[in-house]
């Protein structure tokens, strides 16, 4: 039996202006969450390297919990569960940004830990032999080298987090997927609309990948 389906290009084009309303939410949640997640990643990544167990263990617990549970469960817990604990509702946008922040922070922590550990111990010893303190040695010698090595995995995490925003339609965030669902409910053009949504995500992630490659090349040139 032959399918009678034909792709409606006009329906796809008509959906674009409506779907674009969700793009700012997708970008705001992604980069807002990643900004906080990067700060958390540095903090907990460095704590996980600390020799003091009472600093290292909490960092390890945070990393394992947020890497070991789905981000969908995390955002549902933040949006529906935390209000019972704090006695106040949480805005969907705030819940979404928090989910990206805590989730990406756990993965970035591992990137930070691996990047720092990849630097040879001789670099630290050289800094100390020059009369620098341990803190000065870390931030002026170890960290710049480690950060250059972190750029590719940090870029990969950014792309993953952007795609993860598609899950937040379950709490009513008006990002790309949610806008698509609303549009489909009125037009019944699911194939065309989700095709356009996929293209929009692809444009965002490819643009970010291109930008990260430029940054990585400049970092290698500077090195």
pLDDT (tens digit per residue) in 20-71: 999 999 999 999 999 999 999 999 999 999 989 999 999 999 999 999 999 9
Domain containing residue 35: 9-222
How far is CA 137 from each of CA 43, 111, 184, rounded to the nearest angstrom? 18, 20, 57
| CATH code of residue 44 | 1.10.3720.10
Q: How many domains is the chain partitioned into structurally?
A: 1
The answer to whether the beta carbons of residues 150 and 196 sit under 8 Å apart is: no
Q: What are phi and psi of 7, to 5 degrees?
A: -65, 130
pLDDT (tens digit per residue) in 156-170: 999 999 999 999 999
Q: What is the pLDDT of residue 221?
A: 62
Give pTM, 2 decimals.
Answer: 0.90
Residue 1 lies in a domain: no
Residue 4 lies in a domain: no
Is pLDDT above 70 for 9? Answer: yes
Distance in angstroms (rounded) separating the CA atoms of residues 71 and 9:
34
Residue 2 lies in a domain: no
202 pLDDT band, cuts 50/70/90, is: very high
pLDDT (tens digit per residue) in 138-151: 899 999 999 989 99
Q: Containing H/E element for 126?
A: helix 121-129
pLDDT (tens digit per residue) in 93-124: 999 999 999 999 999 999 999 999 999 888 88
Q: What is the pLDDT of residue 218?
A: 75
Q: Please provide the distance, in angstroms rounded to a whole number, between the alpha carbons at the two ends of the chain.
A: 62
Residue 3 lies in a domain: no
């Amino acid at each position: 039996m032959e399918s009678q389906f034909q792709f409606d290009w006009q329906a796809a084009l008509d959906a674009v202006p409506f779907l674009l309303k969700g793009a700012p939410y997708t970008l705001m949640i992604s980069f807002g969450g990643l900004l906080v997640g990067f700060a958390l990643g540095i903090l907990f990544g460095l704590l996980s390297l600390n020799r003091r167990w009472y600093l290292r263990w909490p960092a390890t617990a945070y990393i394992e919990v947020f890497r070991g549970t789905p981000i969908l469960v995390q955002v549902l817990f933040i949006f529906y569960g935390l209000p019972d604990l704090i006695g106040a509702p949480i805005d969907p946008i705030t819940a979404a940004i928090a989910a990206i922040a805590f989730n990406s922070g756990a993965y970035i922590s591992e990137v930070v830990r691996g990047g720092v550990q990849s630097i040879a111990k001789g670099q630290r010893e050289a800094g100390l032999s020059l009369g620098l303190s341990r803190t000065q040695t870390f931030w002026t010698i170890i960290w710049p080298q480690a950060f250059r090595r972190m750029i590719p995995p940090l870029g990969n995490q950014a792309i993953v987090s952007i795609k993860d925003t598609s899950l937040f339609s379950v709490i009513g965030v008006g990002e790309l997927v949610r806008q698509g669902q609303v549009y489909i409910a009125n037009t019944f053009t699911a194939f065309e609309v989700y095709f356009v949504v996929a293209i929009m995500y692809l444009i965002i992630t490819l643009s970010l990948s291109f930008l990260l490659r430029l940054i990585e090349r400049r970092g290698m040139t500077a090195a």
